[in-house]
């Protein structure tokens, strides 16, 4: 009987799973688990941070809106306070009734001036001394004036002298002397004028009053020292320089002042052909000093230029009372020096139309306020006010 032959069992290859056993899942490395946890933590932190910032922004937005409302209210109140202080221009005032009563009142209101006169026969000079003044009229809003005296001999108004400016006083002591070289034989036909003015850095200087002395009535055989009451100065017919229109806009929350130069009309003829080449310089002044400057384009051969050009300046809300804007219209000259036609100043320190425009701008924040202004003669160089 044959014994069946059994083949030896075949060995399974290494790594092969036995038939019928379940497959094993691959193991995740530890570094991958750490990376997943880190990314999950960062995403969670980012979501929380975004929610926190959104909440903070809402709070800041409400706070900034409240602050903006406060700034707007402050600027509006400031504008209204300036409107109450606006004084009419000299041209807008009706002439006062003339008569003995009004003349007597003017004498008391304008003040008086002390002066001295002498004639140097060796040099042929008339010596005029401006000694002092007292009881001058107060032309500034603070109830005072910044007086100085202009001295000239009619009919020649071009040769004149001016004293120093004295700040905030109605009783200035000048103590200044001036000389006019005039032959003695011609002196009798002359009239000495001593006009007292109130100095204003940003607008036209106003006449307080004047003293007129016909030299034919003075005995110059000896020195003269006298007091005279100031009389109202006659209004001078000013040369027409033209008008300029511009708008002002102030945004308190952004601290932004915008000046839009719109147009000008009836400008003075500066060129030989009877026209001009006008452009406008816009200066921002602080403490009397020019801190920023802009200018428009040049318009050729016209006396009625149209610009519509905007210029912006950064002016914080707490500085708006301390700045002024000055616009100067100039005639461009390709070969020579550009000559100023006239100027306008607006701001808290201005008067008349300049202060009125500034007050309207502050009383209406964020809104452009346009207004026409008559050009004034460019300021002459003056001595600095005495301390």
Sorting pLDDT into bands at 50, 70 and 90, what band is 301?
very high
Work out the average pLDDT over 79-92: 50
Residues 6+ apart with CB under 8 A from 208: 110, 111, 136, 137, 139, 145, 147, 196, 197, 198, 230
Torsion 198-203-204-206 (CA) sign: negative
Work out the average pLDDT over 149-169: 86
Q: What is the pLDDT of residues 173-201, one digit of tens each?
A: 999 999 999 888 888 889 999 999 988 76
pLDDT at 61: 57
pLDDT at 329: 96
Beta-strand runs (E) in 144-288: 147-154, 156-162, 173-181, 191-198, 206-214, 224-229, 243-251, 256-265, 278-286
Under DSSP, the state recorded for 176 is E
d(CA 49, CA 41): 12
Sorting pLDDT into bands at 50, 70 and 90, what band is 251?
very high
How is 87-110 classified by DSSP, letter by letter? Answer: ---GGGSPPPPPSHHHHHHHHHHH
Asked whether the whole model's pTM tops 0.75, one would answer: no
> At residue 60, does pLDDT exceed 70?
no
Ranges 144-158, 181-195, 232-246: which has the least confidence: 232-246
Rg for the chain (alpha carbons), in Å?
41
pLDDT at 72: 59
Q: Which domains does the chain have, with CATH numbers?
A: 112-229 (2.60.40.150), 243-374 (2.60.40.150)
Work out the average pLDDT over 202-207: 69
Looking at every residue in the chain, the average pLDDT score rounds to 79
pLDDT at 238: 56
């Amino acid at each position: 009987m044959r014994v069946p032959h059994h083949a030896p069992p075949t060995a399974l290859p290494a790594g092969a799973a036995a038939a019928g056993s379940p497959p094993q899942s691959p193991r995740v490395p530890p570094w991958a688990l750490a990376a997943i946890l880190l990314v999950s933590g960062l995403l969670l932190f980012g979501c929380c941070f975004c929610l926190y910032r959104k909440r903070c922004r809402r709070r800041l937005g409400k706070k900034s809106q409240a602050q903006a409302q406060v700034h707007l209210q402050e600027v509006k109140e400031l504008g209204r306070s300036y409107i109450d202080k606006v004084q009419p221009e000299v041209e807008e005032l009706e002439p006062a009734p003339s008569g003995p009563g009004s003349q007597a009142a003017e004498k008391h209101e304008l003040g008086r001036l002390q002066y001295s006169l002498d004639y140097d026969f060796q040099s042929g000079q008339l010596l005029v001394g401006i000694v002092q003044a007292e009881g001058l009229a107060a032309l500034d809003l603070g109830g005072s004036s910044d007086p100085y005296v202009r001295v000239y001999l009619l009919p020649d108004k071009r040769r004149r002298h001016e004293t120093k400016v004295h700040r905030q006083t109605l009783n200035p002591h000048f103590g200044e002397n001036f000389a006019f070289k005039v032959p003695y034989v011609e002196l009798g036909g002359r009239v000495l004028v001593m006009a007292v003015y109130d100095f204003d850095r940003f607008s036209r200087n106003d006449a307080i009053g004047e003293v007129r002395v016909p030299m034919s009535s003075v005995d110059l055989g000896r020195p003269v020292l006298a007091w005279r009451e100031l009389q109202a100065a006659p209004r001078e017919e000013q040369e027409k320089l033209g008008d300029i229109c511009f708008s002002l806009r102030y945004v308190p929350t952004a601290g932004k002042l915008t000046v839009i130069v719109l147009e000008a009309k009836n400008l003075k003829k500066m060129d030989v052909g009877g026209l001009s080449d006008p452009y406008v310089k816009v200066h921002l002044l602080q403490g009397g000093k020019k801190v920023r400057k802009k200018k428009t384009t040049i318009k050729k051969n016209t006396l009625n230029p149209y610009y519509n050009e905007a210029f912006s300046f950064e002016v914080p809300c707490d500085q708006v009372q301390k700045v002024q804007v000055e616009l100067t219209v100039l005639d461009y000259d390709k070969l020579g020096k550009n000559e100023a036609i006239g100027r306008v100043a607006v701001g808290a320190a201005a008067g008349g139309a300049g202060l009125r425009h500034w007050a309207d701008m502050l009383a209406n924040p964020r809104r452009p306020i346009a207004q026409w202004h008559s050009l004034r003669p460019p300021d002459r160089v003056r001595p600095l006010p005495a301390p």
